[in-house]
């Protein structure tokens, strides 16, 4: 696994194919987050800041234990706390670790116009390369999870890297290392999916959570970050987790049909005017006699 992250699979804004595509088979990695055993201790928040040298910041009290309303350019993972009343009137305090989902079909990468600013490795990790980022924020439009965040000072975009620097050295991501309850797991996508399904089955059969399931949304081709939810039929209860996330239709239209139409129109236009000139030539004006001086 150690050199898997050097094997690039897709590059944003890149003419041509990613170099080395299909030359080697990489193992896909995944992070499994079991929301049913998270205690909201925020060790993962701190571990991420410390590993990535991100500064501690001033926060304000907002009637919740949640550290801040959403992730930031320098705060890549956040526990979302929600007090949720079930249909039967019982209360659940839901805690969900919110960070980049590392989609197999990353809307951010598809939307990005800057060559090399977003890279997807064959192991599934989607990484921003700030040196190539132009700060246009198209990735913000492309992401169904509201993850990429803008640093107004440097005009670059940032998000969770799934600790690609650690993973490429055979280590688990910092958040997983810090988690005290063992609700975070890391391994191959295959193994993590199997573990998640087993845990969800256990919750359904023995835990009284008849809707427990795994969140691994197909609309983005599946993700390298998957959740076990007490109620997989209601992901929105977990602080804004979209039920059916997809690369937005607007992005797909813009990068697909509109691109083709536009290219056709422009090239067609140039060919059209050339043909017109060849056929009809310019207009001539009859000069008046008094002007011929």
Partner 1 sequence: MYAGKIKGTFAFGMNGVAIGPNSQKNIDALKKTDWLVVCEIYPDETSEFWKSPGVTADEMKKIPTTVYRLPGAGFAEKDGTFVNSARWLQWKGVALPPPGEAKLDQEILARIFLGVRELYRKEGGKFPDPVLNVTWNYSEPANPSLAEVAREINGRDLTTGQQLPGFGLLKDDGTTACGNWIYCGSWPEAGPLMQRRGTEDPSGLGVYPNWAWSWPANRRVLYNRASCDPAGKPWDPARAQIWWNEAQGKWVGNDVPDFKADSAPKEHMGPFIMNPEGIGRIFAPLAAFADGPLPEHYEPVESPIENPLHPKRSKNPVSKRFASAEDKFGSPAEGYNIVCTTFRLTEHYHYWTKNNPMNVQLVPEPFVEMPAELADELGLRGGEKVKVTSARGHYVAKAMVTRRIKPMRIDGKKTYQIGIPIHWGYRGIAEDAGKTALTPANMLSPAAIDPNAYTPEFKGFLVKVEKV
Partner 2 sequence: MILRYTLVERAIHWLAALTYMYVLATGLAFYSPHLYWVAAILGGAPTSRFWHPWVALVFAATLAWMLRAWVADMRITAADHAWGGAMRHYVRNEDGNLPPIDRFNLGQKYFFWVMVFAGLVLVVTGAAMWFPDRTPRAMRGAAILLHVAAALVTVGAFIIHVYMGTAVVRGGFSSIIRGEVSPAWAKTHHRLWYHRVTGK
Residues that bind partner 1 (CB under 8 A): 39-42, 45-46, 49, 56-65, 67, 83, 85, 91, 93
Identify residues 155-174 at the interface with partner 2 (CB under 8 A).
155
Q: Which residues, 6 or more positions from 25, have their beta carbon under 8 angstroms from its beta carbon?
A: 122
**Closest separation between CB of residue 73 and partner 2, Å?**
11
Contact map string, positions 16 to 45, toward partner 2, x by CB under 8 A: x-----------------------------
Q: Is 261 in the site for partner 2 (CB under 8 A)?
A: yes
Nearer to partner 2, 29 or 133 (CB): 133
Inter-residue contact 130 to 156 (CB < 8 Å): yes
Element spanning 119, H or E: strand 118-121
Long-range own/partner contacts, residues 128-131 (CB < 8 A, 24 or more apart): 128/156, 128/157, 128/158, 128/159, 128/161, 130/154, 130/156, 130/157, 130/158
Binding segment for partner 2 (CB under 8 A), chosen from 20-28, 61-69, 109-117, 184-192, is 109-117
Binding segment for partner 2 (CB under 8 A), chosen from 2-10, 97-105, 201-209, 278-286, is 278-286
Inter-residue contact 225 to 101 (CB < 8 Å): yes
- Report the distance separating Cα 104 and Cα 205, nearest Å: 31
**Closest separation between CB of residue 108 and partner 2, Å?**
12
Q: Is 286 in the site for partner 2 (CB under 8 A)?
A: yes
Partner from partner 1, partner 2, none contacting 45, C-beta within 5 to 8 A by type: partner 1
Length, in residues, of the chain? 293
Q: Is 243 in the site for partner 2 (CB under 8 A)?
A: no
Q: Burial of 72 by CB count in 10 Å (0-12 exposed, 13-18 middle, 19+ buried)? A: middle
- Location of structure tokens 């080697």: 24
Q: Is 265 in the site for partner 2 (CB under 8 A)?
A: yes
- Report the distance separating Cα 179 and Cα 174, nearest Å: 9
Residues near partner 2, by CB under 8 A: 13-16, 111, 113-115, 132-138, 140-142, 146, 150, 155, 248-251, 253-254, 258-259, 261-263, 265-266, 269-270, 273, 276-277, 280-288, 291
């Amino acid at each position: 696994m150690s050199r898997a992250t050097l094997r690039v699979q897709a590059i944003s804004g890149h003419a041509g194919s990613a170099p080395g595509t299909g030359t080697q088979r990489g193992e896909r990695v995944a992070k499994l987050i079991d929301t049913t055993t998270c205690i909201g201790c925020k060790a993962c928040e701190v571990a991420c800041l410390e590993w990535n040298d991100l500064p501690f910041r001033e926060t304000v009290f907002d009637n919740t234990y949640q550290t801040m309303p959403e992730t930031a350019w320098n705060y890549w993972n956040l526990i979302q706390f929600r007090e949720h009343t079930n249909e039967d009137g019982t209360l659940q305090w839901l805690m969900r670790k919110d960070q980049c989902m590392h989609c197999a079909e990353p809307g951010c990468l598809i939307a990005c116009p800057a060559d090399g600013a977003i890279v997807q490795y064959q192991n599934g990790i989607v990484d921003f390369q700030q040196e190539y980022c132009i700060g246009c924020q198209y990735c913000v439009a492309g992401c169904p999870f509201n993850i990429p965040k803008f640093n107004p000072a440097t005009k670059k975009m940032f998000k969770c890297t799934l600790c690609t620097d650690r993973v490429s050295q055979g280590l688990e991501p910092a958040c997983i290392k810090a988690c005290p309850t063992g609700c975070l797991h890391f391994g191959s996508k295959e193994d993590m999916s199997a573990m998640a399904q087993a845990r969800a089955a256990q919750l359904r059969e023995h835990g009284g959570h008849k809707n427990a399931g795994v969140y691994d949304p197909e609309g983005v081709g599946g993700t390298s970050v998957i959740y076990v939810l007490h109620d997989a039929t209601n992901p929105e209860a977990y602080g804004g987790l979209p039920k059916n996330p997809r690369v937005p239709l607007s992005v797909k239209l813009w990068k697909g049909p509109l691109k083709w139409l536009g290219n056709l129109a422009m090239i067609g236009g140039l060919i059209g005017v050339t043909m017109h000139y060849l056929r009809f030539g310019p207009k001539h004006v009859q000069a008046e006699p008094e002007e011929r001086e």
